[in-house]
Amino acid sequence: MLKINQVEGITNNLISYLRENERSLKTLNKDITNDTDFAIDYDYNYIIGYLEKYIVNIETNLNSTTLSPKGDILIILSYNEPFIMSIIPVLNALVVGNTVEIKPSSKALNFFSHIWENSGIINKYQLPLNIHVCSKEEVTNIIHDMDAVYFFGGFENAKQIAKICAENLIEFHPEIEASDFQIINISDIKDIDKESIKTTIHDSFLHTGQSCQRIQGIYINSELYPHYKDLLIETCNQMTKSGEFSKYIPENYQPGEILINNFQNLIKKETTIEIQKINGEFPYIMSNINPNGELIKSAQFLPTLWLLSYSSQEELLEWIHNRKFRLGVNILSDNKSFIENIVESTRFSRYTINTGHSLVRYNEGWGGISPTGFNGYKSWIEHFSYPFTVIRE
């Protein structure tokens, strides 16, 4: 592991570099993700807070754990949320003492280089951190020399890399595209006010659709469904008129053509779907969709939100278990037994109950239960380490 004073130095240097280059890095983030200023500010403030907390807790974290480095590891990074992805996994992998090979997304390569190379941090601390600019085919050769591979990205690429790792007995840890959802089960619709709906809107549209860890759909009790749907649409329209919604979806929002085409193809397969457009082309609020269709099972990296009413807990659990991937679930309910039944009958790495879903804990890992991603109950340091036990006489 790195020495505590080294970790403190690296972390302080990262904080200083982020603050000194805040404007240019935020502009670069926008070019990469086409995200809103609101979401970029959110990620920037999050990473500053994370690093400040990291310094405070690093001595406790390193001294209280029995961990050892895995050795040579490869981290394949996606382009989304570059402030977070360029720093958190890399910093923790280095702190444990690994030699870290990075394959950033071509979209985010420049951002990553700014953080670690242009800042001078790699050279100053002689960090065993190497950045690879290569094709997908060339990544195969790199994998063969690794002890472990960590992947952030799409499902199809994850399958290919998993196969290579399996054939060569190399550890593979994926964090693949998936989607979170909300369950609403309130005894009285009057207990759902516009502020709670605004929290849902925040958790649904914070990153204009490019982030996988947002609420992408809502399962709601059938008795509440009609009124909630009207209230949601009404709130969105009011937020649009006041200009408040523009912090989530900018007027010039232009999603990628591939994303649009894939989404439209899924829409065509929905025979009874109802669509409400809130602000121009996006966002879509979709209702009356097929509970077992591909649209609800897929992660949409677009500002879309689906609504689906259920008539019983048994029906709800059946639909949940039919979903392709499991990440996190937000439960809004005043029924304790209902909440306990959902938690006991499902397996998610994160349950947020009667609170905002975008509250990611600073010491938490990433992703959901395998094979969706890293187990969220582990810290980042644990992800990049081997645990060992010391038994004394």
Q: Distance between CA atoms of 286 and 350, rounded to whole angstroms?
A: 25
42: domain range?
Answer: 4-177+367-387
Of 377, 114, 29, 84, the closest CA to residue 212 belongs to 84
Q: Distance between CA atoms of 330 and 328, rounded to whole angstroms?
A: 7
Predicted confidence band at 365 (pLDDT cuts at 50, 70, 90)? low
Calculate the CA 322 to chain-centre distance: 21
Alpha helices in the chain (DSSP H): 4-20, 22-33, 37-63, 82-85, 88-96, 109-113, 121-125, 136-143, 155-167, 194-205, 225-242, 257-268, 294-297, 313-321, 336-345, 380-383
Q: Distance between CA atoms of 374 and 175, rounded to whole angstroms?
A: 6
290 close to 296: Cβ distance less than 8 angstroms: yes
**Are residue 337 and residue 319 in the same domain, yes or no?**
yes
**Taking the CA atoms of the chain, what radius of gyration do you get in angstroms?**
22
Pairing of strands 350-353, 180-185: unpaired
Q: Distance between CA atoms of 227 and 326, rounded to whole angstroms?
A: 28
**Are residue 136 and residue 53 in the same domain, yes or no?**
yes
Residue 84, classified by CB atoms within 10 Å of its CB into exposed (0-12), middle (13-18) or buried (19+), is middle
246 compared with 337, residue with greater pLDDT: 337
**Are residue 273 and residue 208 in the same domain, yes or no?**
yes
**Are residue 100 and residue 194 in the same domain, yes or no?**
no
Residue 391, classified by CB atoms within 10 Å of its CB into exposed (0-12), middle (13-18) or buried (19+), is exposed
Residue 260 lies in a domain: yes
- The residue to which tokens 């690794």 are assigned: 146
Pairing of strands 215-221, 304-310: parallel
Residue 11, pLDDT score: 97
pTM of the model: 0.88
C-alpha torsion 237→243→245→248, nearest 10: 160
Q: DSSP string spanning 286-315?
A: EES--TTSHHHHS---SSEEEEEEESSHHH
In this structure, what CATH number is given to the domain that contains residue 284?
3.40.309.10
Residue 361 lies in a domain: no
Predicted confidence band at 360 (pLDDT cuts at 50, 70, 90)? low
309 compared with 359, residue with greater pLDDT: 309
Q: Is the dihedral of CA 254, 255, 261, 267 positive or negative?
A: negative
Q: Distance between CA atoms of 110 and 137, rounded to whole angstroms?
A: 21
**Are residue 153 and residue 95 in the same domain, yes or no?**
yes
**Are residue 125 and residue 142 in the same domain, yes or no?**
yes
Residue 156, classified by CB atoms within 10 Å of its CB into exposed (0-12), middle (13-18) or buried (19+), is exposed
Number of domains in the chain: 2
pLDDT digits (tens, 9 = 90+) for 337-353: 999 999 999 988 778 89
Answer whether residue 284 shows pLDDT above 70: yes
**Are residue 85 and residue 154 in the same domain, yes or no?**
yes
Number of Cβ within a 10 Å radius of residue 257: 8
Q: Distance between CA atoms of 71 and 93, rounded to whole angstroms?
A: 10
In this structure, what CATH number is given to the domain that contains residue 382?
3.40.605.10
Q: Is the dihedral of CA 377, 378, 383, 386 positive or negative?
A: negative
Residue 358 lies in a domain: no
**Are residue 127 and residue 260 in the same domain, yes or no?**
no
Residue 127 lies in a domain: yes
Residue type, 278: I
15 compared with 65, residue with greater pLDDT: 15
3-class secondary-structure state, position 376: coil
Span 348-362, average pLDDT: 78
Residue 172 lies in a domain: yes
**Are residue 307 and residue 375 in the same domain, yes or no?**
no
Q: Distance between CA atoms of 118 and 122, rounded to whole angstroms?
A: 9
Average pLDDT score, the chain: 89
**Are residue 53 and residue 146 in the same domain, yes or no?**
yes
pLDDT digits (tens, 9 = 90+) for 110-163: 999 999 999 999 999 999 999 998 887 788 899 999 999 999 888 888 999 999
Residue 367, pLDDT score: 59
Residue 360 lies in a domain: no
**Are residue 143 and residue 55 in the same domain, yes or no?**
yes
**Are residue 215 and residue 68 in the same domain, yes or no?**
no
